[in-house]
């Protein structure tokens, strides 16, 4: 049983610097380790990509009932953070390949149906069931989602473009960011543009996955976006674990095939039913926690509430981010219950629907990791942006004086972080403080 004490939530940073990949089935962990050892891929980024795959596969077809008035679906917003050259793209592409193959197969089937329709005028026009897109305006998102009611994912190489494209057609007024905030809570979405057809989407289900560089993240965290809680809804994954180097050895084909089969089987086992007609909704499997699992979830959620309660000394930004973790807690539980019961490799379905305590314990480990990631990444990004203001009135000061000023303002910063803010090397900062 995992210790649920509050002190355990915030005091195990050495344990949670790296993604706890052992919460995943062995077919996933074996493949991640193999890619790290043979290709130098980053395990944190690969694990994040698999989470995205889970969100896409589980979609709106499954939900968890935490209490009668509280239900969660497996919707995940994930951003991986690394410098250019940190292998964000190759690490995530290696994990996404099985899903891309499924998408290609769907498109091939769509083309075949189009061809058949051209030969049969009575045939209904085919619909391409897309479950992810590399980019989308809010209008495009609503349109694509309406063609696949199970859900849609936006998967972007650079997630900063999601910010820059928002409000593209509004002249800066009524940013589409507000629409994304609504989607996070499964709300209905609508779009009314003068130059486009009005559209409406009930019960949005949007997964978001993308990469960003640390300095770009700092720049994106404007006061407006921070105040409305946009970034608080994201799960941050940094590439702080050394990924290793490329070797002469090829990836073991057995391990790769086991992974590919797992991802394909996971998606197909959930999505093999026929796509509902436009006027129909999709059926949803609802799961409840058994008594042991419920008590574990309730106790840990209560501790999170204490952390962000009125007596807490946490800053408002951290409180806001941690409050979203209560939402993700339920989503993680649903994710692990699905992996452990709905689909068990190879192609085995278990009959019970009650969530077991093991799924809650895995969710707690993942929750701790992401809480620490917020501390390690998001706070640092905000501080770096604020450092611009600190340095704005330092004309005439030496770099040594500026470094001392930054350390006074942000005593938790390392010499490397101070150096990045000043545009000098860590070694230079070391000399400043001798």
3-class DSSP state of 136: coil
> Which three-class secondary structure string do you get for 283-294?
CCEEEEECHHHH
Q: Is 179:167 a contact under the CB 8 Å cutoff?
A: no
Q: Which helix (H) or strand (E) holds 323?
A: helix 316-337
Q: Which helix (H) or strand (E) holds 78?
A: strand 77-81
In the chain, the largest separation of any two C-alpha atoms, in whole Å, equals 83
* pLDDT value, residue 426: 82
Q: Is 417:380 a contact under the CB 8 Å cutoff?
A: yes
* pLDDT value, residue 369: 93
Residue 172's region, left for phi above 0, alpha for psi from -120 to 50, else beta, is: left
Per-residue pLDDT of the chain (434 residues; tens, 9 = 90+): 444 454 555 555 445 678 999 999 999 999 999 999 998 889 999 999 999 999 999 999 899 999 999 999 999 999 999 887 788 888 999 999 999 999 899 888 888 877 877 776 666 777 777 888 887 677 788 888 877 888 889 998 888 888 776 654 444 444 678 888 888 988 887 766 554 555 677 788 999 999 998 878 877 776 556 667 888 899 999 876 666 777 878 899 999 999 999 999 999 888 875 555 555 577 888 999 999 999 999 999 998 888 888 667 777 778 888 889 999 999 999 999 999 887 665 455 555 579 999 999 999 999 999 998 888 776 666 666 667 667 777 778 888 888 888 888 878 777 877 887 787 888 889 999 88
d(CA 260, CA 345): 11
Domain ranges of the chain: 12-287, 393-432
Q: Tell me how many degrees the CA angle 108-110-113 measures, rounded to the nearest 5.
A: 115
Q: Is 186:73 a contact under the CB 8 Å cutoff?
A: yes
Q: How far is CA 422 from the centre of its chain?
A: 31
3-class DSSP state of 185: coil
Q: Judge residue 205's burial from the number of C-beta atoms within 10 Å of its C-beta, 0-12 exposed, 13-18 middle, 19 or more buried.
A: buried
Q: Is 71:333 a contact under the CB 8 Å cutoff?
A: no
Q: How many CB atoms are located within 10 Å of the residue 248 CB? A: 5
Q: Judge residue 45's burial from the number of C-beta atoms within 10 Å of its C-beta, 0-12 exposed, 13-18 middle, 19 or more buried.
A: buried
Among 111, 166, 173, CA closest to 141: 166
d(CA 385, CA 75): 29
Which residues make Cβ contacts (< 8 Å) with residue 134, sequence separation at least 6? 154, 155, 156, 157
**Length in residues, the chain:** 434
Whole-number Cα distances in Å, 123 to 114, 115, 303: 9, 11, 58
3-class DSSP state of 79: strand
* pLDDT value, residue 80: 94
d(CA 292, CA 2): 13
* pLDDT value, residue 287: 93
Among 224, 142, 143, CA closest to 180: 142
Beta bridge partners of 201: 189
């Amino acid at each position: 049983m995992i210790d649920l004490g509050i002190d355990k939530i915030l005091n195990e940073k050495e344990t949670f610097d790296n993604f706890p990949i052992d919460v995943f089935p062995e077919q996933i962990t074996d493949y991640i380790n193999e890619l790290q050892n043979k290709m130098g891929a980053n395990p944190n980024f690969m694990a994040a990509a698999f989470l995205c795959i889970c969100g896409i596969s589980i979609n709106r077809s499954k939900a968890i009932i935490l209490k009668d008035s509280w239900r969660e679906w497996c919707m995940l917003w994930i951003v991986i953070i690394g410098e250019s050259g940190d292998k964000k793209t190759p690490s995530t592409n290696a994990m996404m390949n099985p899903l891309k193959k499924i998408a290609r197969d769907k498109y091939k089937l769509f083309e075949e149906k189009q061809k058949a329709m051209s030969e049969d005028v009575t045939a209904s026009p085919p619909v391409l069931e897309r479950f992810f897109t590399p980019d989308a305006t809010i209008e495009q998102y609503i349109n694509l989602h309406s063609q696949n009611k199970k859900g849609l994912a936006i998967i972007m190489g650079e997630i900063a473009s999601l910010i820059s494209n928002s409000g593209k057609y509004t002249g800066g007024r009524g940013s589409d960011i507000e629409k994304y905030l609504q989607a996070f809570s499964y709300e209905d979405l609508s779009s009314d543009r003068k130059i486009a057809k009005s559209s409406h989407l009930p019960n949005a289900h949007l997964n978001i996955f993308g990469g960003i560089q640390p300095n770009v993240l700092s720049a994106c965290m404007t006061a407006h976006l921070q105040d409305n809680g946009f970034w608080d809804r994201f799960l941050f994954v940094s590439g702080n674990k050394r990924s290793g180097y490329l070797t002469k050895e090829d990836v073991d084909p057995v391990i790769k095939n086991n992974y590919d089969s797992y991802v394909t089987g996971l998606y197909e086992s959930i999505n093999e039913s026929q796509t509902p007609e436009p006027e129909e909704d999709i059926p949803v499997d609802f799961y409840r926690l058994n008594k042991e699992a419920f008590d574990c979830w309730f106790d840990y959620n209560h501790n999170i509430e204490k952390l962000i309660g009125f007596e807490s000394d946490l800053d408002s930004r951290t409180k806001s981010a941690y409050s979203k973790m209560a939402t993700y807690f339920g989503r993680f539980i649903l994710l692990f219950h699905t992996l452990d019961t709905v689909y068990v490799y190879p192609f085995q379905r278990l009959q019970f629907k009650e969530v077991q305590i093991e799924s809650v314990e895995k969710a707690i480990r993942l929750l701790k990791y992401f809480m620490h990631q917020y501390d390690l990444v998001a706070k640092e990004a905000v501080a770096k942006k604020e450092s611009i203001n600190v340095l704005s009135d330092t004309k005439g000061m030496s770099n040594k004086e500026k470094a001392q000023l930054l350390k006074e303002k942000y005593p938790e910063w390392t010499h490397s972080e101070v150096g990045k803010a000043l545009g000098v090397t860590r070694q230079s900062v070391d000399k400043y403080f001798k």
